Structure formats: C-alpha cells, structure tokens
Amino acid sequence: MKHYSAFAIAREALRGHTGWERAWRKATPKKRYDVVIVGAGGHGLATAYYLGRNHGIRNVAVLEKGWLGGGNTGRNTTIIRSNYLQDPSAAIYEKARSLYETMSQDLNYNVMYSPRGVMMLAQTEHEVRGYKRTAHANALQGVKTEFISPARVKELCPIIELRGPRYPVLGALWQDRAGTARHDAVAWGYARACSNMGMDIIQKCEVTGIRSENGQVTGVTTTKGDIACGKLGIVVAGHSGHLADMAGFRLPIESVALQALVSEPIKPCMDVVVMANTVHGYMSQSDKGEMVIGGGADGYNNYTQRGSFHHIEETVRALIETFPMISRLKMLRQWGGIVDMTGDRSPIISKTPLGNCFINCGWGTGGFKAIPGSGWATAELIARGEPGPLAAAFGLERFREGRFIDESVAAGVAH
C-alpha cells in the first residue's frame, strides 16, 4: 500500500496522477478463512480491521452483497457523540469517539472527523430534566458534557429561533468534542487498511446460507460459492433477522426504514450539529454547504430502503419552526436506510446459539458514531470467544434476564 501524504500528492501531480493504486485489492473468495465477516458496512470492516491489528488474525474475508458501505454506513447523517445515559453505552460510544479523533492518522485515510460540537435541544420540561440527568451521568462516566442555557444555545447557533410557539428551546445538552465525519471515507479507509493486511474484501457476494455441524458453524453459502470458516461474524444491520434465520435463531430486532434528506448548498450558516429529539429532526451543514437533515423512523417493518413521506413532512414542519431561515430551501435528495431496532434501543454484540458464530447488530438509528468502538469490541469477542469489558453488557441474554441497557428513556431515539 502506498502511503497517502502531501508528498505523494505533489509526486503524482508531477507525473499526471498515473501512480495511484486501487485503495483495496479486488479479491475472489478463497476456499477457507479463519474468520468470515458478513457485511462490509462500517461495523463489519472495523471488526475485520481490529481482528488484524489487535489480535493478529489476518486470514479474514469480509463478504458484502452489494457495494462496500452501501448499507446504512453510506446513508446516515454522520452524527458522532457519546453523551449516553447508561454506563455500558457511555463506555463503548466514548471509546468510539476517541478512536474517531485519531482515525485519519491511524488509517492514513482522511475521514474528515470534525469535532464541531453537538447540541441536543431540550424542548419540553421532561427533556430538560432528562438531559440534566444525562449531564450528571456523563460527569460520573468521565464524558465531558454540559447542560446549557437558551442564551448559550443562541450564541453557538444563531439561526435557531428560541421562542417557537410549539417547541420553545429551554436549554440543551452540549458535547463540544462530538461532531461529524465523512461516512464513505470511514468504510473506504478501513477497507484499504484491511486489504493492506492481506484480508479479502469481496463485494457483490451475498450470503444465502449458513452451514454448521454439531452446533458449530463451518461456513457460508454465497452467490460466489461455498466458503468455509473457523468463525463467523454476522454484521448486517437491518438484515440481521434474515441472517439469524439462516443460522437458526431469532433476534429481538425489528427492521424499519429511517430517512434523511439534504438541501441545496448554501453559504455557511451553522457550525454545530443540532438534534431536536422531541420532533425527530436533526440538522448539520456539510462541507459542501448542504443542510443535512435526519428524520424519525417508521413504525412498521420494512426492507425497501424507502420510508414514509409523512415522516419527512413532520420532520421538516417541526424544523422550520426552530430554523425559520430554512423555510424556502429546496431539498435535493431524500433516501432511506433499513435500521435494526432492539427492544431497549441498545446494540447487541454477542455470542449466538450457534457455536463460533457471533453477531453485531441492533445499532438502529445511531450506530455510525460507534463504528470504531464496536469493531474493537467485536474483534475481541471473535478472537477470544468471550466478550471483553466493552461488549460484556451487550449480550443477547440480557433480553431473557431483564438486564436492559435502556437508552430509550431520555430521548426515545439515538442518532
């Protein structure tokens, strides 16, 4: 792998850019791998990366039915934050956030991490209490956040209307080290690093069956033939139920559509991320100037990657009250992703009823921010066969034992 640097750009400029190579090798499947990961989204690729980097396991393939990052990883609104309420969540999301800070250097790939600050608006008395509680919890967890006044909200984001008739701004939970990153680059950067370690990233390769003997996984059936493996990691977000069905177990997951949209580009007008959880509206401005807007999830199961129009309408209607200046903006594009929702709105990083088969899913509407921490924890689980400290609380058994990690209390959503 050639190192990316200012020097490389200068060198290539002088020779007509003829020396750049593919970011990752095109690979055809081998007969057997030590570990096969299903799903080349951020979580699958990060898992492969840390299997190699932290555990020296490099005979690894990542199988992707479509194109790399074509799932939710390339469809999200890229909000990164770690101000969660429960301790296990704060631990894994803060690990992830801190890894994002050095990701560009670690991967030698510019993921454009921008710690511009994220504010979660409190627009009801209930939210004020909820966010103050979260700020106290964060203080105990060592995650730096604060509850700020409406005046401070206005100072940080002047385009906000504080006195909306339906949803006045009563304060906000502010995390100044939170922000955004370039979603595709995260997938591409990990893929390049994995390929460089000798791993195979195989696109257009759909897993259609899971093979096992005596309760142990032995391999997968794919559209590119059978592939044997010692261990299997299922990391397919909205398609987890489908893969679990192949492996013979059920999950506490429902797949629903979540949508986002972007406006025409305008001059810089906000340099923080604003989340309005009561009305399901999330907004930030991309480097190109587009306003990036995320909405609420649909209420029913769906695999079509298209959501209901009325959700877009509700989101935009509410956001216009808080940001009156966007009322005449034209929207350029709208899209949906299929998100994997669990009963307690927390993810699953777990062993499964099938031996040597592990699953990472349930990130729902908010797993982009978790990618590096989740990959770290899932690699540890796969390598050792037992969860480490980051993953321990996220096992499947919590739904049977009633040990929920309830993140739906404060906001009901978690982008």
Q: Which residues bind other proteins (CB under 8 A)?
A: 239, 241-242, 245, 250-255, 299-304, 308-310, 342-343, 399-401
The least CB distance from residue 315 to ligand FAD, in Å, is 11
Strands (E), 1-100: 32-38, 60-63, 79-80
Q: Among ligand FAD, other proteins, none, what binds residue 42 when CB lies within 5 to 8 Å by partner kind?
A: ligand FAD
* Length of the chain (residues): 415
- By CB under 6 A, residue 42 contacts ligand FAD: yes
Mask of contacts with ligand FAD, 175-214, x by CB under 6 A?
Answer: -------------------------------xx-------
Among 24, 33, 76, 190, binds ligand FAD (CB under 6 A): 76
Containing 310, the helix (H) or strand (E) segment is helix 309-322
Strands (E), 314-362: 331-342, 348-351, 357-361
- By CB under 6 A, residue 40 contacts ligand FAD: yes
- Decide: 231 and 245 in contact? Cβ < 8 Å: no
- Decide: 94 and 143 in contact? Cβ < 8 Å: yes
Mask of contacts with ligand FAD, 332-351, x by CB under 6 A?
Answer: -----x-x------------
Shorter beta-carbon distance to other proteins: residue 265 or 343: 343
The alpha carbon dihedral of 306, 307, 313, 319 has a sign of negative
Q: Among ligand FAD, other proteins, none, what binds residue 213 when CB lies within 5 to 8 Å by partner kind?
A: none
Among 70, 130, 233, 296, binds ligand FAD (CB under 6 A): 70
Stretch that binds ligand FAD, among 16-24, 64-72, 102-110, 120-128 (CB under 6 A): 64-72
Q: Among other proteins, ligand FAD, none, what binds residue 104 when CB lies within 5 to 8 Å by partner kind?
A: none
Distance, in Å, from the CA atom of 312 to the CA atom of 163, rounded to the nearest integer, reads 23
Region of residue 292 (phi > 0: left; psi between -120 and 50: alpha; otherwise: beta):
beta
- By CB under 6 A, residue 366 contacts ligand FAD: yes
DSSP sequence for 111-125: ---B---EEEEE-SH
Instruction: Kindly calculate the radius of gyration of the chain based on its CA atoms and give it in whole angstroms.
Output: 21
Q: Among ligand FAD, other proteins, none, what binds residue 366 when CB lies within 5 to 8 Å by partner kind?
A: ligand FAD
Q: 74: which residues sit within 8 A by CB, 6+ positions away?
A: 183, 184, 187
The least CB distance from residue 400 to other proteins, in Å, is 4
Shorter beta-carbon distance to ligand FAD: residue 76 or 277: 76
| C-beta atoms surrounding 334 within 10 Å | 15
Containing 107, the helix (H) or strand (E) segment is helix 103-107
Residues that bind ligand FAD (CB under 6 A): 38-44, 63-66, 70-73, 75-79, 206-207, 235-237, 239, 243, 258-260, 294, 337, 339, 363, 365-369, 415
